[in-house]
Structure 1
Amino acid sequence: MLDSYSVAFLGILTILLTVIVQSLVAAKSKASQPGAIPGKIDLSLSHSSFVFRAHRTFANSQENLTLMLGASFLAILTGADIFWTGVLIWSMAISRIIHMALYYAISTEQNPSPRSYFYLIALLSNFILLGLCAWTIV
């Protein structure tokens, strides 16, 4: 199974490493603030603050991680098409990295913001991967 799904596993590894990087960036940016309290974010912060954007980037990944990993491992365990499983997992991984980079770089309250499109690409990849799982099971 490891050889067959090696591209998919590398995509999953990339997603997990991305979340670790986001965690470190969020923790470092918050801890460097005067009077920082562990585990507590200043509620007055908004998109103009890098601390807020780093925190939201990490939180958004945490919110999506269960679905990402669940769909990914369900696809692998059910023997879903190897090629499409890899493509969809990498689509999620790359979209999340671009989402992160845009969130770090662009301070905007605009909706949709440029990062929203990459959030949607990752979400769509998840939905399609779940559909592939359903197709494989049936």
Structure 2
Amino acid sequence: MQTDMTLVFIGIWIIIATWLLQWAVAAAVKAKQPGAIPGKVPENISHDSPVFRCHRTFMNTLENVPMFLATVFLGLFLGLESDWFGYWVMLFAIARILHMALYYAIATEKNPSPRSWFFVLGAVANVAVLVQCAMQLWSF
């Protein structure tokens, strides 16, 4: 029985589109600042600055999305086909959007912050897909 992989591909598309949106928002917010220098984020800013929050949101995505996409592509190369594969990809995609929205909205240095919970959900999804890949390898 072949599983419908549409959810996996929709999730990948959402992840990439979110990544692109974060890049555009971070670039636009920073460029609008007085005295903005291309490629340089002021060192004296923190969570109370929208420039900081937009930049950190994008950097956090750069730290997490490539690893997740590598795991997903490994699953695709292995022929992993399960409903759970799609659910985990969608969970990661939604968690990244919620993480982004909370990072933009809440200026806090509290740890854990509300966005931390969505970071953790994304990490759980990554581990779950990696475990599915290992199980697929074991079945060869």
When normalised by structure 1's length, the TM-score is: 0.96
Counterpart residue identity of residue 45, structure 2? L
Q: Indicate the RMSD between aligned Cα atoms, in angstroms.
A: 1.0
The corresponding residue for 2:27 is 27
Runs of at least 5 residues in structure 2 that lack an aligned partner in the other structure: none
Check the 8 A contact 1:80/1:136 in 2, yes or no.
yes
Alignment partners' CA distance in 1, 2:16 and 2:69: 9
Structure 1 residue 82, shift from structure 2 partner: 2.4
Alignment partners' CA distance in 2, 1:90 and 1:14: 8
The corresponding residue for 1:93 is 93
The corresponding residue for 1:16 is 16
Alignment partners' CA distance in 2, 1:54 and 1:111: 18
Structure 1 residue 79, shift from structure 2 partner: 1.8
- 1:84-124 deviations in whole A, cap 9, x for unaligned? 11000001000000000000000001000000000000011
Identity of aligned residues (%): 46
SS of 1:40 mapped into structure 2: coil
Structure 1 residue 4, shift from structure 2 partner: 3.6
Structure 1 residue 125, shift from structure 2 partner: 0.5
The corresponding residue for 1:58 is 58
- 1:8-30 deviations in whole A, cap 9, x for unaligned? 01100000000000001000000
Check the 8 A contact 1:5/1:76 in 2, yes or no.
no
SS of 1:37 mapped into structure 2: coil
Aligned length: 136
Which runs of at least 4 in structure 1 moved beyond 3 Å after TM superposition? none
